[in-house]
Amino acid sequence: MSPAATPPHPPVPARRAVVVGAGISGLSIAGQLAADGWAVDVLEQAPGPRPAGYMIDFFGPGFDAAESMGLLPALRRRGVLYDSLRYVDATGRTTARLSMGAFLRASRGRFFSILRPDIEDGLREWLPAAVTVHQSAPVVSVDPGSPGTGGGAPGEPAVVVLREGTRFEADLVVGADGIHSTVRREVFGRGEDTLRLLGYHVAGFIVEDPPLARDLGPVVTLTDSLIRQAGLYALPDGRVAVFAVEATDNPSVPRDQGAHLATAYADLGWRIPAVMERAGDEIYYDVVAQSSCPHWSRGRVVITGDAAYAVSLLAGQGASLALAGSLALARALRAHDGDLGAGLAAYEEQWRPVAETQQAAGRRNATFFVPSGRIGQVVRRVALRIMGLPGVGGVAARRIFASSLPSKGHTGD
């Protein structure tokens, strides 16, 4: 008698994840969840990839995370290396200069600059086919469901609803929808009240200007100015990436941001007024703020990236921490496979102290970055001159990289 044929196992249904937001956090967690076998839908409110933003210095934990995720080659191809940084006064005269060589050596070459939209572009190229990105998909409500128990009780799915009414049920919802997160507001009842405004507005945009790009060359140029600061980075293709920071207590951003930039920076001199006049339609403009929500997960929902722990440009690590935080989340979920609640709790326990350390560093940097008075400006000039002395630059750079987190440990390597 032949043995009875073993019945085939029924296919295990894929776990479904919905990621809200196709920024750096959203795309990076989506790709990692898909690699772990999740079926992933990314819901993004914008109609397509967003071209706005400025140049980001990319190093530290995000660099290590990108390497672990296999993303680094796609980012390096889009990166740019600058050889120095200089401050200029209103006549264009150089008031301080720093070589980037010390930074490159201290990071052992693990440092480059990259436009924010180019990080997203690299992530989209890296994304596995199993991820579906829905553009023009603004999320308006989220029900967190319940994860059940590690012992096998199923719980309830989370439900995400788009503005036009489409519903998505999911085993996991990741709120990666930025500093003004809808997911944070819906699930934790905490919105803008979790934002710590740091007293600045920031703008970033890109202009086509081959003559200016040629004049700037491989030198990051920043204005040595009070209350406001503008910075210019030439790109190899003749474009120039501009950022502008203004000290202001206004909690709302101007309605006509282009017009505001043209007026607010008109007296900075040198080439700045002409550049600001050309800001155009694609401007990234926001308040400079940090988010801090008392909880990062509830039911089947977790928040990550700026939605959970925005550090702001004053910490200079937002994109880096977005990538590294998503790697920490993916690893915690993998380590607690089958127990979602435990995975989400482990993520927060590991990553919150890292993010909060960077937030504190960002707050300390504020007055150095944009001095409000002559004394602060002189202190910055002196500090930069000292950093430019032979031997000192290397020590300072090593300090900066050391304080940018003992990266391997924190990304879980």
- Binding flags for ligand FAD, 125-154, as an x/- string (CB under 6 A): -------------xx---------------
Asked if 288 contacts 198 with a C-beta cutoff of 8 angstroms, the reply is yes
Stretch that binds ligand FAD, among 19-27, 78-86, 217-225, 370-378 (CB under 6 A): 19-27
Please work out, in degrees rounded to the nearest 5, the angle formed at the alpha carbon of residue 345 by the alpha carbons of 331 and 67: 20
Q: Is 26 in the site for ligand FAD (CB under 6 A)?
A: yes
Q: Which of 19, 23, 287, 370 binds ligand FAD (CB under 6 A)?
A: 23
Q: Is 284 in the site for ligand FAD (CB under 6 A)?
A: yes
Number of residues that bind ligand FAD (CB under 6 A): 32
Residue number with CB closer to ligand FAD (305 or 343): 305
* DSSP classification of residue 344: H
Q: Which of 374, 45, 84 is nearest to 222 (CA)?
A: 84
What's the CA gap between 326 and 176, in Å, rounded?
9
Q: Which of 30, 33, 52, 219 binds ligand FAD (CB under 6 A)?
A: 52
Q: Which of 122, 204, 371, 393 binds ligand FAD (CB under 6 A)?
A: 204
Residue number with CB closer to ligand FAD (22 or 187): 22
Asked if 384 contacts 369 with a C-beta cutoff of 8 angstroms, the reply is no
Q: Which residues make Cβ contacts (< 8 Å) with residue 266, sequence separation at least 6? A: 273, 276
Q: Which residues make Cβ contacts (< 8 Å) with residue 225, sequence separation at least 6? A: 89, 90, 268
Q: Is 185 in the site for ligand FAD (CB under 6 A)?
A: no
Q: Which of 253, 371, 386, 265 is nearest to 314 (CA)?
A: 371
The strand pair at 158-162 and 167-170 is best described as antiparallel
* DSSP classification of residue 35: H
* Long-range contacts at 335-339 (CB < 8 A, ≥ 24 apart): 338/150, 339/150
Q: Is 393 in the site for ligand FAD (CB under 6 A)?
A: no
At its nearest, how many Å lie between ligand FAD and the CB of residue 28? Answer: 8
DSSP string, 171-214: SEEEE---TT-HHHHHHHS-SGGGEEEEEEEEEEEEEE-HHHHH
At its nearest, how many Å lie between ligand FAD and the CB of residue 385? Answer: 27
Asked if 114 contacts 78 with a C-beta cutoff of 8 angstroms, the reply is yes
At its nearest, how many Å lie between ligand FAD and the CB of residue 391? Answer: 31
Q: Is 348 in the site for ligand FAD (CB under 6 A)?
A: no
What's the CA gap between 126 and 372, in Å, rounded?
42
Q: Is 103 in the site for ligand FAD (CB under 6 A)?
A: no
Q: Which of 35, 39, 46, 226 binds ligand FAD (CB under 6 A)?
A: 46
At its nearest, how many Å lie between ligand FAD and the CB of residue 233? Answer: 11
Residue number with CB closer to ligand FAD (182 or 223): 182
What's the CA gap between 350 and 174, in Å, rounded?
17
Q: Is 21 in the site for ligand FAD (CB under 6 A)?
A: yes
Backbone angles phi, psi at 184, to 5 degrees: -60, -45
CA 261 remoteness from chain centre: 23
DSSP string, 140-157: EEEE--B---TTS---B-
Q: Which of 57, 64, 116, 206 binds ligand FAD (CB under 6 A)?
A: 116
At its nearest, how many Å lie between ligand FAD and the CB of residue 31? Answer: 13
Stretch that binds ligand FAD, among 23-31, 143-151, 247-255, 269-277 (CB under 6 A): 23-31
Q: Is 44 in the site for ligand FAD (CB under 6 A)?
A: yes
Q: Which of 50, 97, 381, 398 binds ligand FAD (CB under 6 A)?
A: 50
Terminal-residue alpha carbon distance, the chain: 54
Q: Which of 178, 299, 371, 393 binds ligand FAD (CB under 6 A)?
A: 178
Q: Is 270 in the site for ligand FAD (CB under 6 A)?
A: no
Q: Is 305 in the site for ligand FAD (CB under 6 A)?
A: yes
At its nearest, how many Å lie between ligand FAD and the CB of residue 139? Answer: 4
Q: Is 62 in the site for ligand FAD (CB under 6 A)?
A: no
Q: Is 122 in the site for ligand FAD (CB under 6 A)?
A: no
Placement of tokens 């990108």 in the chain: 66
Q: Is 24 in the site for ligand FAD (CB under 6 A)?
A: yes
Binding residues (CB under 6 A) for ligand FAD: these are 20-26, 43-46, 50, 52-54, 56, 116, 138-139, 176-178, 182, 204, 284, 305-306, 310, 313, 318-319, 322
